[in-house]
Chain A
Amino acid sequence: MKNNKVFSYDKAMQRIEQIVEQLEGDDKSIDELADLVKEASSLVKDCKKKLKDTEGEISKAFEDEDKPE
């Protein structure tokens, strides 16, 4: 999530889709395309991490509930 203090999965996804759309639009120069792809790859990594973290948190939360007191 780099420098962003508050990471929003939805916003990241919107941005990725926007980039894909732009790539598909194909009216950018090759330099611009390269930058967009880098940004999108980074966002994909962040989203993957977010998903992994969320899965871990949820598992942990249910595990706590199941533990006998």
Chain B
Amino acid sequence: MQNSLRLFELNALIKTTLDLHLDPGYWVVAEIGEFRDSVRGHAYLDLVEKEEGQLLAKLRANIWSYTYQGIRRKFESVTGEQLKAGMNILCLVSVQFHEIYGLSLNIKDIDPSYTLGERARRRQEVIDRLKKEGLLELNRQFLLPLVPQRIAVISSVTAAGYGDFINQLDQNPYGFKISHKLYQASMQGKETPSSITKAISLVEKDMVTHGFDLLVIIRGGGAQTDMDSFDDYELAKSIAEAALPVVTGIGHERDESVADLVAHTQMKTPTAVAAFILTGFKDFEDKLKMSLNRMERACRNRWQREKEALSGKEFLLLRLFSGVLSEQKDRIDTHKLRVASVAKYALKYQLLQIQGVEKGIKKSVGDFLHQEQVRLLHLQNNLKLSDPVGILQKGYTRTEFEGKPLHRHSPRPGDEIITFTNKEKINSKITRVNEYEIEPAYRTGRHNENVTRGDD
């Protein structure tokens, strides 16, 4: 049987060997793989080393309570952060071997300046990458809206900074109405980058329907130790590529984060962001007022010039027009006189004409009447001459045979005839008929031949 050792003896041998051959302390660079506080005030860690994601080495470590309090205060005051998993640290360790618990490291000190430099280096790497990819200035290509009236806000509703921001916007002394919509995101802790990135996606999705013209990312009142989240590459990329101009108010006091660098505009605090937005409104309003004043002044000047020009033209027109007017008036007066004169003459002429016509009518009528009177007189005379009474009264007689004048009959002896005087009707019988000629005294007439005077 070979010589053998009990396990305890082996572990005691390992411990003695390590104590003999190792120095009391080593400065070691490692990443904190896991980190947890214990109720007794100690800190338990896993220190790891990775290469391209592959684990190369791993060792348990602890910081005893008494040492841990001092290390922690110093670390946080220098770096602004708590010790946590994922951090690279430079620590002073002693190697321990315990018969039961095995190999571990006891951390005696941590150099915070290493972590600070390490973080700066990582941050610079992110910045370089963003620059290389053209993302660093991308969001600044946007023109800030003159008056951002619809704002998407990414923040935590419980954050004090959000409340301040909203109050300042809603109760601004100028009475500007600004619409805002909150997109809830975790603003501290490991989830911060992915949460904000997700919120940015939501904002972009709502952008058309809500008509957002500005994206604000604000955070306030949180621990100053969570700033690493805002140096995250993915978050920076999503801010840079946002479809809206981004204004940050992340509320930190040390140097600016990468999120601030890629944003369009960065302000220190949420209230500063609100003030910035309101300043934009105020500037716009002032410019508007100034423009209005200028416009008014320009209008007034122009109006005055036009008024003067118009007055000049009016005066000129009046002068010209009064000349034309007077000329036309004279013409009208002349025409009036001519018309009156011509009318008067025409009237006189017509009157004369009518008088002539009247005279003519009167004369014609008179002539006609006279002619008719003459005609009547003539007829009357003829009647008188033809009247048998007048003839018989003058002593002439009329002889008829069988009711017809005697001269219409060839009288023969023995014919019985009737002779009319003015007083008698004498019946007689013809005894003898003698032919004889009578000379006409005033006129010839057949009936005269038949009239004989009674005393003949």
Contacts and interface: CB of A to CB of B under 8 A. Distances in A.
Interface of A: 13, 16-17, 19-20, 23-24, 26-27, 29-30, 33-34, 37, 40-41, 44, 47-48, 51, 54-55, 58, 62, 65
A48 B361 CA distance: 20
B38 interface: no
Q: Indicate the size class of the contact surface on chain B.
A: 20 to 34
A29 B398 CA distance: 10
A44 B386 CA distance: 15
A65 B379 contact: no
Contacts of B389: 34, 37
A69 B372 CA distance: 35
28 contacts: A13-B375, A16-B379, A17-B379, A20-B382, A20-B383, A20-B386, A24-B382, A24-B386, A26-B405, A26-B447, A27-B404, A29-B400, A29-B403, A30-B388, A30-B398, A30-B420, A33-B387, A37-B383, A37-B386, A37-B387, A37-B388, A47-B376, A51-B369, A51-B372, A51-B373, A54-B369, A58-B365, A62-B358
Determine which residue in B358, B373, B382 has the highest number of CB atoms from chain A within 10 A of its CB, and name it.
Answer: B382
A4 B30 CA distance: 164
Task: Name which of A17, A26, A37 has the most chain B CB atoms within 10 A of its CB.
Answer: A26
Contacts of B358: 62, 65
B446 interface: yes
B404 A29 contact: yes
Contacts of B382: 20, 23-24
Given A26-B405, A62-B358, A51 B376 contact: yes
B362 A62 contact: yes
Most buried by A among B376, B400, B420, B447: B376
Interface string B361-386: 11001100100110110011011001
A41 B447 CA distance: 21
B379 A58 contact: no
Contacts of A48: 373, 376
Contacts of B376: 16, 44, 47-48, 51
Given A37-B386, A37-B389, 20 more contacts: A20-B379, A20-B382, A23-B382, A23-B383, A23-B386, A26-B446, A27-B405, A30-B388, A34-B387, A37-B387, A37-B388, A41-B380, A41-B383, A44-B376, A44-B383, A47-B372, A54-B365, A58-B361, A62-B358, A65-B358
A47 B368 CA distance: 13
Nearest to A66: B358
A62 B360 CA distance: 12
Nearest to B403: A29
A60 to B, nearest CB: 12
B383 A40 contact: yes
B181 interface: no
Contacts of B373: 48, 51
Interface string B398-425: 1010011100100000000000100000
